[in-house]
Amino acid sequence: MAPKHSGQGMQTVIANRFRLSEECFTPSFGEARLGYDVVQEQRVCVWLVPFRRRHLASHFMREVLSHAQMARECVPCVRAVGIDERTRVCYVAMDVISGRPLSEMPPTTIAEVARTGIAIMACVAGLHGIGQVHGRLCPSNVLHSVGGMQLFGLDLHGIQLVSEVNAYDRGYLSQEQLAGKEPGASCDWHAVAKCIQWLVGRVPPEANAIAVLQLESEVSNVLASDPRSRAEKMAAVRGRLEALNHDA
C-alpha cells in the first residue's frame, strides 16, 4: 500500500532494533508504522500498542504469539513481539503488508461484493479450522494484499490495553461481546455478516436488484439469529454470494 505521511520529522527507534518511519495504515487501535529491522536487515511493518500496566502488556504479547501460529495465507507473518519500556508500547513486527484496507477501497459492483465476501468467509473459516477466533473483524481489519485477502487485528479478550475502543469497531461486535463475554466463532460470523452488509451498502443499484435484496435478507437473518445458528445461516449467505458471482 502507498505509505501515508506520519507528520513526524524524525525516525523513532523501538527496542534498539526497529527504525520506524512513516505511518503505513491505520489499525483499529494503536498505530502501524513502516520500519527497518537492523537485526534481520529487512523492511517490516511495526504495530505499536501503548500499555498502562506491565502485566497487561505481557498478556497482550501472549495473545499475539498465539495468533502468530495462524495460517500464513490469512494473516501477515509475525516476525517479532516485545515491550519497549522506554516508550511504554508493545510492538508487533510483521512482514510489510502490500495492500490496502477494505475500508479504504470498497467494491464498486455487486460482483466485487460477492468475490470479496466469499474471500472473507474463506479466511475466517481457515482461522476457525485451526482453532483460532479473530474477534475484532471489521472492514479496516481486512486487507487487499498481493497474495489475496488477509486479516489484520487481534482480539484482546477484554483486556484494556488502550484508553478506549474505536467506536467504528464496536459496530461489528456481537451482542455477546458487547455484554463482555469471550468471543467465539459465532462472533466472527456476526462480524462477517456486518461486513457484507457494509459492502452491499456501498454499491449502486444494479439490474440484479432482486438477488441483492435476497442477499440482504439472508444477512439480516444471520444478524438476528441465535449465536448457535449463525454458522449454519451463513451458509445461505455464501450461496447467495456464489450465485451473484456466477451471474456477474
Per-domain residue ranges of the chain: 12-95, 100-247
Q: How far apart are CA 178 and CA 166, in angstroms?
A: 13
Mean pLDDT of 200-219: 84
Burial class (CB in 10 A: 0-12, 13-18, 19+), 95: middle
Mean pLDDT of the chain: 80
Second-level CATH architecture of 100-247 = Orthogonal Bundle (1.10)
The amino acid occupying position 105 is M
Residue 8: band (very low, low, confident or very high) from pLDDT cuts 50, 70, 90: very low
Domain 12-95 architecture? 2-Layer Sandwich (3.30)
Q: Which residue has better confidence, 115 or 148?
A: 115
Would you say residue 228 has pLDDT above 90?
Answer: yes
Long-range CB contacts for residues 226-231, cutoff 8 Å, separation at least 24: 227/174, 227/176, 227/184, 227/186, 227/187, 227/190, 228/186, 230/186, 230/189, 230/190, 230/193, 231/185, 231/186, 231/189
Tell me which of 216 and 107 has the higher pLDDT.
Answer: 216
Distance CA 190, CA 42 (A): 37
Q: Taking the CA atoms of the chain, what radius of gyration do you get in angstroms?
A: 19
Structure confidence at residue 10 as a pLDDT band (50, 70, 90): very low
SS3 218: helix
Choice among 152-166, 169-183, 231-245 with the minimum mean pLDDT = 152-166
Q: What is the pLDDT of residue 4?
A: 40
What pLDDT, in 10s, does the model give residues 174-187?
Answer: 999 888 888 899 99
Question: What is the pTM assigned to this prediction?
Answer: 0.70
Please indicate whether the domains covering 12-95 and 100-247 agree at the CATH topology level.
no
The single-letter code of the amino acid at 207 is: A
Q: Is the pLDDT of residue 51 over 70?
A: yes
Q: For 168-183, give one letter per residue: b (16+ CB within 10 A) or e.
A: ebeebbbeebeeeeeb
